[in-house]
Amino acid sequence: MDEVIADVIPKFLKLYNRDFGTALDIEQTPGKEVFELIPEDVNRKWYEYINEPGFFRDLEPIADSREVVKKLHEKYDLYIVSAAMEFRNSLQDKYDWLRDHFPFIDWKHIIFCGNKIVNVDILIDDRIRNFVDFDGRKLLFSSPHNLLITEYERVNNWKEVAEKLL
């Protein structure tokens, strides 16, 4: 979900801006996580933000994600698989967010987990740790933190996913 269909970075920047006056338009250095670009004395605050109820509830969908995921859903047996389990307070928010923005995906096709031990053919993900034990086709969805990684098939946006899979 995060950084693939849910745009989480602007939310972090908004909260850092609110609390510490950091810039809202920080451009992420390729290969760096967003919190690595925030002054060191306050950057650990991300962990508090992400644990606040509501953090995941009002994120914007990533550009074109709804349209392309809907078409993929019509062609494939599509699942949303989110490593939500790390953050207890994210579960209801993520569930409600999916109901709002991806209402065509029923509850049987939503998975909140830790390790993504799912039996699927294609995995679209921004985190290569989820590819390690996965034998199928891996599509690395571009996000600033993964831009230096070269050993996987890459999709830079949902339009490119559509070109490859539709």
Kindly tell me which residue out of 27, 40, 108, 151 binds its own copies, with binding defined by CB under 8 A.
Answer: 108
| Closer of 133 and 153 to its own copies (Cβ) | 133
**Spatial separation of the C-alpha atoms in residues 42 and 159, rounded to whole Å:** 36
Q: Residue 145 has which token pair?
A: 């933190």
Q: Is 137 in the site for its own copies (CB under 8 A)?
A: no
Q: Residue 40 has which token pair?
A: 């060191």
Q: Which of 104, 1, 105, 111 has its CA nearest to residue 55?
A: 1
Kindly tell me which residue out of 21, 27, 40, 107 binds its own copies, with binding defined by CB under 8 A.
Answer: 107
| Closer of 85 and 166 to its own copies (Cβ) | 85
Q: Nearest distance from residue 101's CB to its own copies, in Å?
A: 15
Query: Do 60 and 7 contact (CB within 8 A), yes or no?
Result: yes
Q: Which residues are catalytic?
A: 2
| Closer of 35 and 79 to its own copies (Cβ) | 79
**Spatial separation of the C-alpha atoms in residues 20 and 127, rounded to whole Å:** 28
Q: Nearest distance from residue 60's CB to its own copies, in Å?
A: 22
Kindly tell me which residue out of 9, 26, 120, 147 binds its own copies, with binding defined by CB under 8 A.
Answer: 120
Cα end-to-end span (Å), the chain = 20
Residues 6+ apart with CB under 8 A from 125: 4, 116, 131, 138, 139, 140, 141
Kindly tell me which residue out of 111, 122, 147, 162 binds its own copies, with binding defined by CB under 8 A.
Answer: 111
Q: Is 46 in the site for its own copies (CB under 8 A)?
A: no
Q: Which of residues 73-92 bind its own copies (CB under 8 A)?
A: 79, 85-86, 88-89, 91-92
Q: Which of 3, 27, 6, 31 has its CA nearest to residue 141?
A: 3
Give the interface with its own copies as residue ranges (CB under 8 A): 79, 85-86, 88-89, 91-92, 95-96, 106-115, 117-120
